[in-house]
Amino acid sequence: MTDLEAVKEGTRGMWSRGDYGRLAARIESAAREVVDGCAISAGQVVLDVAAGNGNAAVLAAREGAAVTASDLTPAMVELGRARTEGEGLDVEWTVADAEELPFEDERFDCATSVFGAMFAPRPDVVARELFRVVRPGNTVGMANWTPEGFNGRFFALGNRYAPPPPEDVPRPTDWGCEEIVRERFADLAGSILVEPRFVRWSFADAGEASRFFEETAGPSATLAEMLDDESRGRLREEFAELVDQFNSATDGSVEVDAEYLLVVARRRG
Ligand SMILES: C[S@@+](CC[C@H](N)C(=O)[O-])C[C@H]1O[C@@H](n2cnc3c(N)ncnc32)[C@H](O)[C@@H]1O
């Protein structure tokens, strides 16, 4: 049996590294899709789960929703709180595990999670929690990287250089597979809309892309620090090959469309 507390301690450690705000700025379009897909509007009571520094929380608050944002990593919550205070937005921040949300049943009109809850180790527990806290008939919205898309392949590449993940923990990108999402939500949702979407990564070249992720994404920063020079060099080469496979630019720059699944589900009435 996997020590889940150790897994989560590792998650907190990883996501405490890296200049996350720069990464968040580049994936904000996915938060926009989730907020629009869930039709978040003024007066609604909204929870953003695994909120990071609050991309979806900020957009929901700008719509006039009453927003609570939660994340497992205290450093992320601090970052998010500073961001929303800086923008003069009234968002309530809480450190919380997506598998154990500290909120009463049916408190929210909508729960969102953008590239967040997908990283919790027990997907069925997460699914139950997301639906428990929204009212019947109301929405759960997610954005999840697909396994075959650029980011899914990037994670799989990193996993070949990192210590092997626990065998009994499903890969996060299973949340990017339509059939699996439908299965996980089958007893919880009355309706489920699932659509592919893309985040575009634009960089001057593959080297800049590699440096960007190592500087901003906690898990990439952690892995780069952990590896010796030779392994780090090989990982960077393999990353450049992966970029090549997805790159639509022909002038040496990088234009990669990274696929994710937009999920909007309505809780059974
Ligand atoms: C890629 S970031 C996404 C953050 C944000 N939703 C966004 O759109 O920028 C992943 C986040 O998931 C959080 N996370 C991972 N496992 C979690 C869990 N079990 N419960 C809550 N948050 C978790 C991490 O701390 C991190 O902030």
pLDDT tier at 134 (50, 70, 90 boundaries)? very high
Residue with structure tokens 């509007």?
Answer: 41
Got the DSSP string for 162-202? SPPPPTTS--GGGGG-HHHHHHHHTTTEEEEEEEEEEEEEE
CATH of the domain at 128: 3.40.50.150
Residue 78's pLDDT is 98
Which of 72, 84, 133, 155 gets mutated to test ligand 1 (max ligand atoms within 8 A of its CB)? 72
Q: Residues with beta carbon inside 6 Å of ligand 1? A: 8, 11, 15, 24, 27, 31, 50-52, 55, 71-73, 76, 97-99, 114-116, 119-120
| Interval between CA 12 and ligand 1 midpoint (Å) | 9
| Interval between CA 249 and ligand 1 midpoint (Å) | 30
Rounded mean pLDDT, 38-63 = 98
Average pLDDT, the chain: 97
Residue 12 alpha carbon, nearest atom of ligand 1:
25
Residue 98's pLDDT is 98
In this predicted structure, the answer to whether residue 167 has a pLDDT above a threshold of 80 is yes
Could you list the residue range(s) of the whole structural domain that residue 61 is in?
4-267
CA–CA separation, 21 vs 100, rounded Å? 26
CA–CA separation, 78 vs 95, rounded Å? 9
Residue 1's pLDDT is 74
Choice among 41-45, 61-65, 163-167, 222-226 with the minimum mean pLDDT? 163-167
Residue 165's pLDDT is 84
Q: Which of 138, 259, 155, 168 is nearest to 213 (CA)?
A: 155
- Please state, as a whole number, how many other Cβ atoms lie within 10 Å of the Cβ of residue 92: 13
pTM of the model: 0.98
Residue 50 alpha carbon, nearest atom of ligand 1:
22
pLDDT tier at 54 (50, 70, 90 boundaries)? very high
Q: How many domains does the chain have?
A: 1
Residues 6+ apart with CB under 8 A from 117: 49, 50, 98, 126, 130, 142, 175
Choice among 82-91, 142-151, 162-171, 245-254 with the minimum mean pLDDT? 162-171
Model confidence over 209-227: pLDDT tens digits? 999 999 999 999 999 999 9
What are the distances in angstroms from CA 153 to CA 156, 157, 161, 165, 214?
Answer: 5, 6, 13, 16, 16
Contact 175, 146 (CB under 8 A): no
In this predicted structure, the answer to whether residue 164 has a pLDDT above a threshold of 90 is no
